[in-house]
Amino acid sequence: MAGDAFVRCRVSSETKILLQSIADREQITESALIRQLLDALVKTSATADAVTVRPGAPDLRGERLSIRLAPDDRRLLSERATARGMPSATYVAVLVRSHLRRLTPLPTEELTALKRAIAQLGALGRNLNQIARTLNAGGRSDGPGRQDLQAMLKIAVALRDHVKGLLIANEASWDRGHDETAH
């Protein structure tokens, strides 16, 4: 039966040399030797009967993928992942998923900041609506005057533009990288 899953472990240098010499003597690879040892152990194990193997059971985490990176690329990956507040492997998984599905992900910290800004805009909007209702009903407002309202409008527009800039920068950073600028 062809293998479709991996088993990994670290061993001492001495064990590795011993495995290599046994594999060489048997004229097989180390991997084939280890597979034979595991198969023999599983067949003779009393607990093997008690284990229910569910072929095809879904792995909710998805498949593991290993890649090799040049040292400079690994350093850049680490810097960019750290800047996003993510482990490197998570950052790579998010990058790949965003590229494949044409998504622009927002890391947790950035999403939280945007939610706060939206909440502040909502509070400002509610206050302005209360003032407008009072004035439209013919009442007088002891609240902010015309200049104050114009200042609040400027703040709201600036905050909107800032959030829009954050979203554009976020999208661009996933396309180009964290510290790079458009040329």
Q: Report pLDDT for 118.
A: 81
Give the pLDDT of residue 54: 59
Q: Model-level pTM? A: 0.39
Write out pLDDT tens, residues 109-146: 777 878 888 888 888 778 777 777 787 787 776 767 77
Burial class (CB in 10 A: 0-12, 13-18, 19+), 142: exposed
Most confident of 19-33, 43-57, 99-113: 19-33
pLDDT higher than threshold 50 for residue 183: no
Q: Give yes or no: residues 133 and 144 share one domain.
A: yes
Provide the pLDDT confidence category of residue 71 given band limits of 50, 70 and 90. Answer: very high
Are residues 87 and 114 located together in one domain of the fold?
no
Does residue 1 sit within a domain? no
DSSP class of 31: H
Asked whether the predicted pLDDT for residue 26 surpasses 50, the reply is yes
Q: Residue 1: pLDDT above 80?
A: no
Q: What is the C-alpha separation between 77 and 81, in angstroms, rounded?
A: 6
pLDDT recorded at residue 98: 79
178 and 112, same structural domain?
A: yes
CATH code for the domain in which residue 89 is found: 1.10.1220
Asked if residue 54 belongs to a domain, the reply is: no
Cα angle 19, 21, 23; round to 5: 65
What is the band of 57 on the pLDDT scale with cuts at 50, 70, 90? low
Q: DSSP of 130-148, one letter per residue?
A: HHHHHHHTT---SS--HHH
* Same domain membership, residue 29 and residue 73: no
Domain membership of residue 37 (yes or no) is yes
Greater pLDDT, 57 or 76: 76
For residue 74, name the pLDDT band (cuts at 50, 70, 90).
Answer: very high
Same domain, 126 and 177: yes
Could you tell me if 157 and 91 lie in one domain?
no
Say yes or no: 153 and 121 in one domain: yes
List all residues 6 or more positions away from 113 whose beta carbon is below 8 Å from its beta carbon. 166
In a shared domain, residues 110 and 177: yes
Count of structural domains, the chain: 3
**Most distant pair of Cα atoms in the chain: their distance:** 99
Residues 132 and 152 in one domain: yes
90 and 38 co-located in one domain:
no
How far apart are the C-alpha atoms of 117 and 147, rounded to whole Å? Answer: 23
Q: 22 lies in which domain range? A: 13-49
Task: Tell whether the torsion through CA atoms of 63, 67, 71 and 75 is positive or negative.
Answer: negative
- Surface-to-core class of residue 152, CB atoms within 10 Å of its CB (0-12 exposed, 13-18 middle, 19+ buried): middle
What's the whole-number mean pLDDT along residues 33-41? 83
Averaged pLDDT score across all residues of the chain: 77
**182 against 61, higher pLDDT:** 61
| Residues 99 and 118 placed together within one structural domain of the fold | no
Q: How many CB atoms lie within 10 A of CB 92?
A: 17
Does residue 144 or residue 12 have the better pLDDT? 12
Q: What is the mean pLDDT of residues 76-85?
A: 85
Please check whether residue 55 lies inside any domain of the structure.
no
Q: Which two tokens stand for residue 56?
A: 């095809």
Task: Give which of 56, 60, 61 is closest to 93, Cα–Cα.
Answer: 61
Residue 123 shares a structural domain with residue 182: yes
* Position 70 confidence tier, pLDDT thresholds 50, 70, 90: very high
Q: Is residue 121 part of a domain?
A: yes
